């Protein structure tokens, strides 16, 4: 274990110095509300909704459960098409398959690494009536929301925001997760704040969120006996996990500030190496910088794999950028839309990318070690 304790991690849970989380957990234990309902669950929903500026939210067992129920709330079913960012984690598009619908993957643009509005337009030309569009805010970096919202509105198509990595990020002063009909957050262990596991579906549609709460508690009808008229799911967040989430929310702004400092330190350190660029930040946005990621110019003699291996030798965790969904064995049979005639932006971002340690518990010395290890290769 001695070596493990010194490992520099990509991102890991960071509890508050004040011990907020333990206060809320203690409350759950003291009141014996240990089940997937209770004061913490209700308050966590309320507090997240208030923080991002929407009317309501449903606290669930995972971010993917939130996407699943968002699609179900839109009545996405067999025969329906759902447009989805290709450069993402599989949890974004698996729920499309849960609903027996068909994903169509959309390429990224290089300015934010997110869904390319031009490729989205092209997708609508080929498939005029998709049931929904799922846009992903990669590593907490806001997508080009003005354009994407406008395109979806022109085609009367519902937008779901996968802001699993983007809690706390803003686009033109407005929080991610509040531009679409539904917003999705994840509180997985490595996210900017965690509830040890969990997610939330947020919306201004109180009626649909109420329906989601019904589905995620096994769709039990109001009757003395156990009666079910619909298929339900066991997707509710526990009151203990919600307590952790409530404590974490109190330090979210602090975490965004810490992650931003980490990003800026990398940016400053690599500014003279022409082969390294960080994920760009677009004007009028505030990314939460959940993970700081770099692109290595393809003309560089140093390749991403060499960087990852050099870091590994120093017991430093790093990883490639997500492998696009249209390149995955399970999804490669589905259509992929790009504006390019050969290759794709998503593919290049994957091949040339490295995610660097962005742990808010990382010391200055540890980040220096990461930087020096990379610099020594160039």
CATH number of 252-375: 3.90.1150.10
The burial of 239, by beta-carbon neighbours within 10 Å (0-12 exposed, 13-18 middle, 19 or more buried), is given as: buried
Are the CB atoms for 288 and 302 separated by under 8 Å? no
pLDDT-based confidence at residue 124 (cuts at 50, 70, 90): very high
Tell me the pLDDT tens digit for each residue of 151-185: 999 999 999 999 999 999 999 999 999 999 999 99
Pairing of strands 182-186, 199-203: antiparallel
* Average pLDDT of the chain to the nearest whole number: 96
* Distance from C-alpha of 265 to C-alpha of 262, rounded to nearest angstrom: 5
Residue 301 tokens, joined: 């003699």
Residue 314 tokens, joined: 């120093």
Produce one character per residue of 82-95: b if its CB has 16 or more CB atoms within 10 Å, e if not: bbbbbbbbebbbbb
Produce one character per residue of 184-207: b if its CB has 16 or more CB atoms within 10 Å, e if not: bbbbbebbbbbbbbbbbbbbebee
Provide the pLDDT for residue 278. 98
| φ, ψ (nearest 5 deg) of residue 257 | -65, -45
Percent of the chain with pLDDT over 90: 97
- Whether the pLDDT of residue 4 is over 50: the answer is no
pLDDT-based confidence at residue 34 (cuts at 50, 70, 90): confident
SS3 22: helix
Domain ranges within the chain, ordered by starting residue: 20-249, 252-375
Average pLDDT over residues 66-84: 98
Produce one character per residue of 309-329: b if its CB has 16 or more CB atoms within 10 Å, e if not: ebbeeeebbbeebbbbbbbee
* Distance from C-alpha of 64 to C-alpha of 68, rounded to nearest angstrom: 6
Cβ-based neighbour number of residue 5 at 10 Å: 6
Provide the pLDDT for residue 6. 86
Are the CB atoms for 252 and 192 separated by under 8 Å? yes
Angle subtended at Cα 331 by Cα 329 and Cα 334, rounded to the nearest 5 degrees? 130
Strand-pairing partners, residue 84, are: 105, 134
Instruction: Report in angstroms the alpha-carbon separations of 95 from 7, 59, 103, 106, 152.
Output: 34, 17, 10, 17, 20
Average pLDDT over residues 89-109: 98
Are the CB atoms for 212 and 69 separated by under 8 Å? yes
Tell me the pLDDT tens digit for each residue of 181-216: 999 999 999 999 999 999 999 999 999 999 999 999
Shortest CA distance to 292 belongs to which of 346, 222, 221, 371?
371
| φ, ψ (nearest 5 deg) of residue 58 | -120, 120
Average pLDDT over residues 2-14: 80
- Whether the pLDDT of residue 35 is over 90: the answer is no
Residue 117 tokens, joined: 């509005």
Tell me the pLDDT tens digit for each residue of 131-144: 999 999 999 999 99
Q: Does domain 20-249 correspond to CATH entry 3.30.870.10?
A: no
Tell me the pLDDT tens digit for each residue of 291-347: 999 999 999 999 999 999 999 999 999 999 999 999 999 999 999 999 999 999 999
Pairing of strands 102-106, 132-136: unpaired
Q: Which residue's entry shows tokens 């209770």?
A: 38
Average pLDDT over residues 261-288: 98
HSE (CB half, 13 Å, CA atoms) of 357? 26
Provide the pLDDT for residue 2. 35
Pairing of strands 158-162, 353-356: unpaired
Tell me the pLDDT tens digit for each residue of 100-115: 999 999 999 999 999 9
Are the CB atoms for 214 and 37 separated by under 8 Å? no
Q: In Å, how far from its chain's centre is CA 258?
A: 18
Element (H, E) at 356: strand 353-356
């Amino acid at each position: 274990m001695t070596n493990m304790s010194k490992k520099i991690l990509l991102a890991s849970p960071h509890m508050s110095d004040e011990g907020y989380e333990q206060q809320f957990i203690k409350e759950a234990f003291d009141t014996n509300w240990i089940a997937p309902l209770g004061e913490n669950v209700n308050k966590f929903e309320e507090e997240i909704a208030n923080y991002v500026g929407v009317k309501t939210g449903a606290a669930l067992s995972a971010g993917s459960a939130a996407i699943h129920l968002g699609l179900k709330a839109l009545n996405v079913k067999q025969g329906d098409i759902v447009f989805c960012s290709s450069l993402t984690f599989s949890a974004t598009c698996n729920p499309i398959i849960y609903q027996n619908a068909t994903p169509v993957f959309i390429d990224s643009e290089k300015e934010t690494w997110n869904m390319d509005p031009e490729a989205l337009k092209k997708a609508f030309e080929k498939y005029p009536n998709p049931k929904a569009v799922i846009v992903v805010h990669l590593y907490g970096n806001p997508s080009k929301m003005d354009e994407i919202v406008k395109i979806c509105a022109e085609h009367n198509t519902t937008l779901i925001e996968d802001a699993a990595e983007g809690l706390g990020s803003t686009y033109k002063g407005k929080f991610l997760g509040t531009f679409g009909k539904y917003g999705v957050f994840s509180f997985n262990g490595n996210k900017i704040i965690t509830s040890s596991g969990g997610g939330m579906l947020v919306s201004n549609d109180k009626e649909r969120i109420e329906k989601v709460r019904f589905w995620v508690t096994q769709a039990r009808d109001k009757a003395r006996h156990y009666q079910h008229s619909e298929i339900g799911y066991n997707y509710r967040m526990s009151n203990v996990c919600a307590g952790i989430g409530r404590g974490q929310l109190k330090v979210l702004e602090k975490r965004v500030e810490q992650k931003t400092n980490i990003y800026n330190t990398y940016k400053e350190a690599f500014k003279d190496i022409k082969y390294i660029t960080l994920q760009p930040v677009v004007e009028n946005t505030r990314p939460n910088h959940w993970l700081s990621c770099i692109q290595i110019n393809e003309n560089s003699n140093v390749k991403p794999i060499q960087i990852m291996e050099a870091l590994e030798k120093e017991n430093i965790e790093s990883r490639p950028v997500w492998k696009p969904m249209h390149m995955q064995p399970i999804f490669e049979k589905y259509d992929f839309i790009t504006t390019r005639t050969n290759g794709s932006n998503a593919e290049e971002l994957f091949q040339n990318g490295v995610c660097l340690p962005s742990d808010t518990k990382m010391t200055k010395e540890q980040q220096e070690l990461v930087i020096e290890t990379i610099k020594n290769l160039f």
